[in-house]
Structure 1
Amino acid sequence: MIKLTLVAGARPNFMKIAPIVHAIQKQKDAGSAISYRLIHTGQHYDKKMSGDFFEQLNIPEPDSNLGGGGGTQAEQTAAIMVAFEKELMENRPDLVIVVGDVTSTLACSIAAKKLVIDVAHVEGGIRSGDLSMPEEINRMVTDSITDHFFTTSEIANANLRKLGFADSQIHFVGNTMIDTLMANMPRFQKPEGELFDQIKEKQYFVMTMHRPANVDQEEKLKEMIEAIVKGTEGLPIIFPVHPRTAKNLQALGINYESLHMTEPLSYLEFNFLVKNAKGVITDSGGITEEASVMNVPCITLRDNTERAETIELGTNELIGTDPKKLPPYLDKLMKGNWKSYQGIPLWDGKTAERIVEKIIQIYS
């Protein structure tokens, strides 16, 4: 019996884990000797992540919630490591699977390796080169002790080879986020409310902003929002707001008729909006992947990205954090001169199946 422990800590992790859970279940139903425990580290907790979230992604409630949320980066890392070590000692697996680049990814891979348990990193090998981002530290440390990498792109494979990893450790499988996207697209649902009843397809923008470089400098934030409002020429901008950003915006008294700040939305609601938008303006990594596959123009307000394939083959443009760089891109988008999705290799909705088949091959 192959025993797996799957780790998720923050909301994007569950979108990456969900298809792996389904693929394991499928193998199990077909008679494979494989089992898993799903561990929620408790790193992020919000009401959108409780029952309805697991229901939306059609995954079972986690076998254990480690309750490792809150505190500084170091406190959170330590709390998760302590709780996860205990989990592993009570339920020792053959392999721990971590996904993405959150604090839980780093903490759980260290705890597993110290107990001499193999670690597989889903989305291993991606790099932004920006050491001011906690996620980059998490990726670098996790990858340095990982046994098997399940990668999303040839760029990630090249990064890992450069670090001296053997080809036998690098498994190019695609992107499980896209598995989730494709599986759920028929189920996307329009959010409820007057605002959402009024918006017309391809006649509004979706915006997300949460990185300190964009939201923690008042003048810059104000300038950025002004440039976005001006460049979108009065079209509605739907902005599901992170609580910290909301606080900063209120303090600045930012208020435009076309800018609609909303509560955070569920996965199915948010992606409904992205799919039908004229364009997306974001500083998030995952959204650039989803927008690209749905062929929706995407502007990324960051100076670097760990997802270069969304620029080379997707609909994403990296424009930096200077508000002055925004107008020509918005002008191009408004005129309909944006590039189209070219197709990213293996982003086909079957990534999780490839991952589980490879695990069975290695551990049987």
Structure 2
Amino acid sequence: MICLLLLLAVVAAMPLVQLASLGYLLHAAANLARQRGWSSAFPGLRLAGRLGAFAGLAALFWLPVWLVCDLSYAMQLLEPGSPAAAQWRLAALASTGLWLMYVTWAAMRGGRVRHFIWPAPFRWMSQIWRLSTWRRAGDGLYELLVALQFPRLWWLGARAAVGALAWTLLPVTLMIIGQRAHDFPAAAVVGLLGAVAMIVVMLYLPFLQIQMAVRNRLVAMFDVSSVRRLCRHAPWAHALSLLLLCLLCIPLYILRIEATPAELLWAPSLVFVWFMFPAKLLLGAAMGYAAGRQRKMLPVRHWLLRWPARGVALASVLLYVGSLYVAQVIAGQGALVMVFQHAFLIPAPLGG
């Protein structure tokens, strides 16, 4: 599980590529919405574990190389242009090249612990020159990309992001005008209309994204009536999952007070994955529970259950919209915080 979260965080920190991270979260939630059980909520868990183990071993074997490179850098500062500095620089380049060869050869043989411990030098000398060896390596890399389902997850995340922007762009624009257009006489009214519209959107958009992932059609992002019917079958499940989503979004806005340094860009992405993953899963589980009741032709819940649940959902969304106003005041990104909402968009803007 730790390897999976780290892998998602690394992907979430890469520009454009991080759409695959959003797609994975929605894909996992969609599996629960399809009532496939919690065992399907973590697709690719075993593969992520293998990739994490390989990355950890590669990092472990990088430590001596890092030491040589650090000493080379220090020598360049202390005695620039000296023969000793040139020798250390050559040693750093050679050790880096050897490390790349070592890790690549270990990956070509399977990337397991035994492949790192014993490099099989005689096998390397006999096979590294063969075209078939590199052909098998290329086939293995292709199979890895297929197993990761990266194109499919990226496309899912891209459509989810486009759909979310289509829903939120107008309310957010009105909210920004209400906050920033001080010379506009009707700014307060426009801002209020935007806030009300954002409240309505927030009640349904998290579920609409998962519905789109379930149907694998962008048009499902705009089928509000289906989500409303599901909410009537499981009002409290929907309300509580929405409450959790709104609560878990607040700590992420705190990270936006100051722009994250480039060397720590992965840290807010890890927080994004850590907080949004369980929220998305519970949203999917709520939809799956409601879909199960609907499939069994069970009646909708009594209004005595529905209306209190709607009150909880409305209070949750009011808290979320209020946090948007506070975040755009205290965050270094200003009004952009309202545009790039990590409740249903990619976490890239966390980097500042």
**If the TM-score is normalised by the length of the shorter chain, which range does it land in?**
under 0.3
Which structure would you say has the larger Rg? 2
TM-score by length of 1: 0.22
More strand per residue: 1 or 2? 1
The structure whose RCO (Cα within 8 Å, separation 6+) is larger is 2
TM-score by length of 2: 0.23
